[in-house]
Amino acid sequence: MQLLTLADTKKLASNNLHELLMIDESRIIDFKWGTVFFYRPKLDDQEITGLAGSLVDKFNGEIHPINENRNLDDQIERYRKQKGYTHVIKFPPIGDLSKMTTLEKVFALFKTKEIYQIKQGLELVKKERLFSIDQFAELCATRTIWPDDNIPIIIANCFNSSFEEYILLNSDLKKIPAEISLFKNDLTQISIYDSLSLEELPQSIIELEHLESILVSTAPIKIIPKDLRSLKKLKNITLINTPFEPEDVNKLLLPNNCEIKISTWLNE
């Protein structure tokens, strides 16, 4: 059976577009049995909500909607399994894996956001005992609400967003996992809101060499590493509605030019 070409799938996708939309040429993903297209407004000043994409099947020309708020590879994989198609690598790792350390290789596989390759990365983690997968998944899963506890999907969604800022919102974690130090080359901000069980920032945050700010708002946090002087880029710490008092803050050793503020909602 002859498969459709990229030109064929592009024509099908174009024919099914709203008149105000066009294919985003910079985001086309073409692989063996399908093509993924994303859309944008034809005019730059148009504000159109609900922009999404489509997966066009090269076997039969079927058009399957893509939800941009869910992990792309997970949606493709679900469709592939439903149709019984052979798996193909759609998002190759960036860089030469053979020249990477094991941990760098794991992160390169994770950053593909492709479930199949994330599973390869997880196998490396288990084999080399690099870190706790459960703790790492718990760390990643705090960024939003997840549909289930499937670790590859959790990690895929985590790397689908920038990890420059770690956001903890309405979490029931008691302690941020020590595995946060794995992001020492990326993380610049930690922002915690309304996490009514959180009691501790781990000692490992002192390894986050690019960290610039820490914000904790409404959390019963009791423990912060006392010596933060290794965080040379840390500019501010803000504690709102926490048990910390001025005398507690005075015990912290901070880098030069780092400001710290504590307040409640009443005196903020």
Using one digit for the tens of pLDDT, what is the confidence trace for 43-97?
A: 776 665 556 899 999 999 999 999 887 888 989 999 999 999 999 999 999 999 9
Question: How far is the C-alpha of 127 from the C-alpha of 150, rounded, in Å?
Answer: 20
Task: Note the pLDDT of residue 266.
Answer: 44
More confident residue, 212 or 162: 212
Task: Note the pLDDT of residue 51.
Answer: 60
Domain coordinates in residue numbering, the chain: 6-83, 92-159, 162-268
More confident residue, 145 or 90: 90
Task: Note the pLDDT of residue 143.
Answer: 52
- Residue 57: alpha-carbon gap to chain centroid: 28
Token look-up 């008691």 returns: 174
pLDDT band at 267 (very low <50, low <70, confident <90, very high): very low
Task: Note the pLDDT of residue 245.
Answer: 86
Amino acid at 197: S
Task: Using the predicted structure, report yes or no on whether residue 135 has a pLDDT greater than 80.
Answer: yes
- Helix (H/G/I), strand (E/B), else coil: 100: coil
Q: What is the torsional sign of CA 100, 103, 108, 114?
A: positive
Task: Note the pLDDT of residue 145.
Answer: 52
pLDDT band at 168 (very low <50, low <70, confident <90, very high): confident
pLDDT band at 141 (very low <50, low <70, confident <90, very high): confident
Task: Using the predicted structure, report yes or no on whether residue 1 has a pLDDT greater than 80.
Answer: no
Task: Note the pLDDT of residue 159.
Answer: 84
- Helix (H/G/I), strand (E/B), else coil: 73: helix
- Residue 75: alpha-carbon gap to chain centroid: 17
How many Cα atoms sit within 13 Å of 166 on the Cβ side?
29
Task: Using the predicted structure, report yes or no on whether residue 163 has a pLDDT greater than 90.
Answer: no
Task: Using the predicted structure, report yes or no on whether residue 210 has a pLDDT greater than 80.
Answer: yes
The beta-carbon contacts of 125-134 under 8 Å, at least 24 apart in sequence, are 128/102, 130/102, 130/103, 130/106, 131/179, 131/182, 132/177, 132/179
In 10 A of CB 239, how many CB atoms? Answer: 23
Question: Could you tell me the two tokens for 173?
Answer: 């974690």
For residue 189, give the nearest of 164, 218, 161 by alpha carbon. 164
Q: Cite the DSSP H helix spans in the chain.
A: 6-15, 72-83, 102-111, 115-128, 133-140, 151-159, 246-249
Q: What is the mean pLDDT of the chain?
A: 89
The beta-carbon contacts of 159-164 under 8 Å, at least 24 apart in sequence, are 159/110, 159/111, 159/113, 160/71, 160/72, 160/113, 163/187, 164/188, 164/189
Q: Which range among 18-32, 111-125, 147-161, 220-234 shows the weakest confidence by mean pLDDT?
A: 147-161
Mean pLDDT of 212-229: 94
Full-model pTM: 0.79
Task: Using the predicted structure, report yes or no on whether residue 268 has a pLDDT greater than 50.
Answer: no
More confident residue, 15 or 70: 15
Task: Using the predicted structure, report yes or no on whether residue 146 has a pLDDT greater than 60.
Answer: no
Question: How far is the C-alpha of 199 from the C-alpha of 221, rounded, in Å?
Answer: 4
DSSP one-letter code for 82? H
- Topology of the domain covering 162-268: 3.80.10
